[in-house]
Amino acid sequence: MKIATWNVNSLRARADRVEDWLRRTDVDVLAIQETKCKDENFPWEMFENNGYEVAHFGFSQWNGVAIASRVGLDDVERTFAAQPAFGKDDKDPIQEARAIAATCNGVRVWSLYVPNGRSLSDPHMPYKISWLAALKEHAVSGLSSDSAAQIALMGDWNIAPRDEDVWDIDYFLNEGLTHVSAPERAAFHAFEAAGFTDVVRPFTPGPGVYTYWDYTQLRFPKKQGMRIDFILASAALAARVTGAAIDREERKGKGASDHAPVVVELG
DNA sequence: ATGGTCGCGGAGCGA
């Protein structure tokens, strides 16, 4: 079985590209982030025509997550317990469309779009940290009730946990940029301490291996990217992993997402 | 191996 995650940066703008990719790669489960649409604009037929069931969680042009599967899609869960709400200025805080889960052939799959943080001093940053803490508690509860649970936490984590996960760590630190700060990294490492491991890195060692390249500043041709999309697996799932890859080719050409798909093969 | 961003929505925000 092959499972994958991909921040597509608008599913409507990328539907043809996603369809081509599904046909080419033959993945069984795809966790999608940034669908950027409501249900009424979701390309349901594209998935059905290719043999995938799909569950979507999106209610505006922002965020939006989905899971497509051709090996079953059961017990769909939208948001997680105690997921923090966020609202800017005078707007009422809401639980944003950043998390959806489903059970696919025995694996509890999460499609996650972690808040960006925006800047170190922005209210979005404490939101990001508390969002991750609540997600970790929820993931841990899934393991405490069943230590053999196969759980895949997949998505755009918006964190570069190691210095080699950005093209120039000094640039990020000197500019005071997000994604590399100590609190963000601590929030990520808490998942590892809780028993979830990055099952992709062993098959895609760095430095210079990334999953995201900003559209601006010619970041992709200059090979200036960031590794911020991860598949974290519980122990029982990690034991099944036989391979992994980052599909850098998919970042090329006109109409590409700024993120590459990340794929894990299970035995 | 691209071409000094892109997507949504219809201005400006978010990434």
The answer to whether A28 is a known ligand-binding residue is no
The answer to whether A63 is a known ligand-binding residue is no
Sign, CA dihedral A226-A80-A10-A202, equals positive
**Nucleotide showing the shortest C1' distance to residue A10 CA:** B7
Tokens of A230: 């991860």
Q: Which residue has the tokens 């006109």?
A: A254
Active site residue A113: yes
For every one of its 267 residues, what pLDDT tens digit does chain A have, with 9 covering 90 and above? 999 999 999 999 999 999 999 999 999 999 999 999 999 999 999 999 999 999 999 999 999 999 999 999 999 999 999 999 998 776 789 999 999 999 999 999 999 999 999 999 999 999 999 999 999 999 999 999 999 999 999 999 999 999 999 999 999 999 999 999 999 999 999 999 999 999 999 999 999 999 999 999 999 999 999 999 999 999 999 999 999 999 999 999 999 999 999 999 999
Active site residue A156: yes
Catalytic residue among A28, A52, A56, A113: A113
CA A230 to chain centre: 6
Q: Which domain holds residue A68?
A: 2-266
Q: Pick out residues whose CB falls under 7 Å from strand B.
A: A 9-10, 12-14, 36-37, 60-63, 88, 115-116, 118, 124, 158, 215-218, 220-221, 252-255
The pLDDT of residue A91: 75
Nearest residue for B8, CA–C1': A61
Cα gap A35→A101, rounded to integer Å: 15
**Nucleotide showing the shortest C1' distance to residue A115 CA:** B15
Sign, CA dihedral A54-A29-A194-A116, equals negative
The pTM of this model reads 0.97
Catalytic residue among A28, A156, A198, A229: A156
The answer to whether A174 is a known ligand-binding residue is no
CA distances from A250 to A42, A58, A204 (A): 22, 24, 16
CA of A13 to C1' of B4 (A): 23
Cα gap A106→A126, rounded to integer Å: 34
CA of A163 to C1' of B13 (A): 30
Active site residue A92: no
* Strand arrangement, sheet containing A197-198: A74-78, A99-104, A107-113, A151-156, A229-233, A197-198
> Which residues have a Cβ under 8 Å from the Cβ of A81 and sit 6 or more positions away?
A134, A137, A138, A141
Taking the CA atoms of residue A265, residue A166, residue A11 and residue A60 in that order, the dihedral angle to the nearest 10 degrees is: 120
The pLDDT of residue A85: 96
Cα gap A241→A246, rounded to integer Å: 15
Please give the tally of structural domains in chain A: 1
The answer to whether A156 is a known ligand-binding residue is yes
CATH of the domain at A48: 3.60.10.10
> Taking a C-beta distance cutoff of 8 angstroms, is the pair A79, A99 a contact?
yes
Q: Which residue has the tokens 């059905």?
A: A48
Cα gap A116→A127, rounded to integer Å: 9
Pairing status of strand A197-198 against strand A151-156? unpaired
Name A111's bridge partners. A100, A154
